[in-house]
Amino acid sequence: MPRTARFTIENGYYHIITRGNQKQIVFKEETDYTIYLNILNKYRKRYKAKLYCYCLMPNHVHLLLEVSEPQALRKFMSGLNLSYTIYFNAKYNKVGHLWQDRYISRLIHKDKYLLDCINYIETNPIRANLVQDITIYPWSSYTAKMDQNNKMLDVPEI
């Protein structure tokens, strides 16, 4: 049975969720998180995507981004997920799928829900009981926003 086509629009804001296959850990070491962020930044630049927030959890990823062209989302996520899978499989001597099914993409409207979505994404480590204080979780855009030299995050127009 064919997959349902994604609903994408020009200049759309999307909450993206991608999870490890069978909820497996996809970030085993600090280096893995860093490599993922580097790959994310590479594809953000390549497809001129605006990244508003992110949270890398041990077994899944949340992103909030905007793409100017509808087809850019598919290409962006395909490149990002494939590149990280190649890295991960080579490093850990694995083969096959790293990510469960295809990524989830939810269209977000530029209103209060956008701010709620950012808050939801960035506080995910608290809800998962990884930390009590979000300011100490290094793999969320919450802490990245405090870095004056951060050039990866964009500011949404609300």
What does the pLDDT look like over 127-150, one tens digit per residue? Answer: 999 999 999 999 999 988 887 777
Mean pLDDT of 69-85: 93
pLDDT, tens digit (0-9, with 9 covering 90-100), for 27-45: 999 999 999 999 999 999 9
Residue of 22 and 5 predicted with greater confidence: 22
- Domains in the chain, start-ordered, CATH in brackets? 12-144 (3.30.70.1290)
User: Confidence band (pLDDT; 50, 70, 90) for 77?
Assistant: very high
Q: What pTM did the predictor assign? A: 0.92
- Exposed, middle or buried, 58 (CB in 10 Å: 0-12/13-18/19+)? middle
pLDDT at 104 over 80: yes
CA distances (Å), 132 to each of 40, 52, 100, 125, 135, in order?
27, 23, 28, 8, 9
User: Confidence band (pLDDT; 50, 70, 90) for 158?
Assistant: low
CB-based contact 6:74 (threshold 8 Å) = yes
Give residue 7's pLDDT.
67
> Given the structure tokens 């001597």, which residue do they identify?
93
Q: Please state, in angstroms and rounded to a whole number, the distance separating the CA atoms of residues 76 and 83.
A: 11
* % the chain with pLDDT above 90: 70
Q: Please state, in angstroms and rounded to a whole number, the distance separating the CA atoms of residues 52 and 45.
A: 14
Mean pLDDT of the chain: 90
pLDDT at 5 over 90: no
